[in-house]
C-alpha cells in the first residue's frame, strides 16, 4: 500500500506543478492517466475534479468531485449538474459512466457520501458479481414473454384451422 501512496503522491506533485505553470490540460492528462492505472483514490478524483472545475467543464468536474466524496461549497454546483444529467439512469448504466477504477464491488466500498448518494438513487448494495463484472439490471419481461407465447400459440392454432379447412376442400 505504501507503493501506491508514493505513486499517487508523485502523480499529484507532477499535476500540481503543471497547474502552477498554468498547464491545466497537462495536469488533466497526468491525472486521467493515473486514474486509469490506480485503484479508487479520492485524492486523484478530487484533484482531477478541481482541474475540470478550473477549466470550466462543470459536468466532468462534478463526475470526479462526486466520486471523491469531498463536499465543499464550491463543488456543489458541478456535482449537482453531473447528477442531474445522469441520476435517472439505471444503476448498471450509471456505473458505466464512471472510470473502471471507480466501479467498486459494493456500495460500502465507496466513501460515505458517495455510498449514500447511490443508496438514494436506489442502487443495489452489491454492484459486481464474484468475477468482477458489473451486474446487469434485472428485467421484468414476464408480461412480454407471456404475450409472445400467446401470440405464437394463436398463430399456430389459426394455421392448423386453415390447414384443416383447406384439406377438407381438397378431399371433397
What does the DSSP 8-state code read for residue 106? B
Q: What is the pTM of this model?
A: 0.72
C-alpha cell read off for 98: 464512471
Mean pLDDT of 125-131: 76
Boundaries of every domain in the chain: 2-120, 140-172
Give how far the C-alpha of residue 105 lies from the chain's centroid of Cα atoms, to the nearest Å.
12
User: Which range is most confident: 18-27, 121-130, 137-146?
Assistant: 18-27
CATH of domain 2-120: 1.25.40.10
In terms of Cβ atoms closer than 10 Å to its own Cβ (0-12, 13-18, 19+), residue 137 is exposed
- Tens-place pLDDT, residues 50-77: 999 999 999 999 999 999 999 999 999 9
Amino acid at each position: 500500500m505504501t507503493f501506491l501512496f508514493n505513486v499517487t503522491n508523485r502523480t499529484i506533485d507532477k499535476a500540481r506543478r503543471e497547474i502552477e505553470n498554468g498547464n491545466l490540460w497537462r495536469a488533466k492528462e497526468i491525472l486521467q492517466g493515473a486514474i486509469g492505472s490506480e485503484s479508487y483514490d479520492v485524492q486523484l478524483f478530487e484533484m482531477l475534479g478541481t482541474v475540470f472545475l478550473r477549466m470550466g467543464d462543470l459536468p466532468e468536474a462534478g463526475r470526479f468531485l462526486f466520486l471523491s466524496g469531498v463536499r465543499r461549497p464550491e463543488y456543489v454546483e458541478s456535482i449537482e449538474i453531473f447528477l442531474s444529467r445522469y441520476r435517472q439512469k439505471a444503476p448498471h448504466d450509471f456505473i458505466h459512466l464512471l472510470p473502471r477504477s471507480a466501479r467498486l464491488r459494493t456500495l460500502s466500498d465507496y466513501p460515505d457520501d458517495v455510498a449514500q448518494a447511490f443508496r438514494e438513487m436506489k442502487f443495489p448494495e452489491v454492484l459486481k458479481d464474484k468475477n468482477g463484472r458489473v451486474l446487469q439490471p434485472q428485467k421484468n419481461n414476464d408480461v412480454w414473454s407471456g404475450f409472445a407465447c400467446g401470440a405464437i400459440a394463436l398463430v399456430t392454432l389459426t394455421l392448423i384451422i386453415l390447414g384443416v379447412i383447406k384439406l377438407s376442400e381438397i378431399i371433397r
